[in-house]
């Protein structure tokens, strides 16, 4: 099942504070823009382009940031979006979304 690319999932996604991205200059720049956009988004308004996101990789697929550190621990299994969608793998930023 496709994971929804929407405000609710973005709000709950734990990628925003994940250690895999925490020192990534690329992801941090995207996060700043993303959180700013999120703060001003109304329910049902259009989502930003996935290419500008640093979250909900289970929905959008792999990160294009080359400086993420996937030796750190993925947080997905603590995320409500993960359990709600019966997801089973981790590191969506590295491996892409599930089939
Ligand atoms: S997909 Fe997992 S490893 Fe990647 S940023 Fe999100 S929580 Fe971290
Ligand atoms: S399962 Fe992982 S990638 Fe998907 S919303 Fe949760 S923390 Fe983000």
pLDDT digits (tens, 9 = 90+) for 50-82: 998 999 999 999 999 999 999 999 999 999 999
pLDDT value of position 70: 97
Q: What is the pTM of this model?
A: 0.95
pLDDT in tens, 6-20: 999 999 999 999 999
Ligand nearest to the CA of 4: 2
pLDDT-based confidence at 41, cuts 50/70/90?
confident
Give the ligand 1 atom nearest the CA of 63. Answer: 4
* Rounded Cα–Cα distance for residues 92 and 38 (Å): 21
Cβ of 75 less than 6 Å from ligand 2: yes
pLDDT value of position 43: 76
């Amino acid at each position: 099942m496709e994971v929804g690319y929407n405000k609710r999932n973005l709000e709950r996604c734990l990628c925003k504070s994940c250690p895999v991205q925490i020192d990534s200059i690329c992801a941090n720049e995207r996060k700043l823009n993303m959180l700013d956009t999120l703060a001003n988004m109304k329910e049902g308004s259009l989502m930003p382009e996935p290419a500008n996101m640093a979250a909900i990789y289970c929905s959008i697929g792999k990160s294009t940031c080359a400086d993420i550190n996937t030796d750190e621990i993925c947080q997905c299994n603590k995320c409500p979006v993960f359990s709600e969608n019966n997801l089973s793998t981790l590191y969506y930023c590295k491996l892409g979304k599930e089939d």
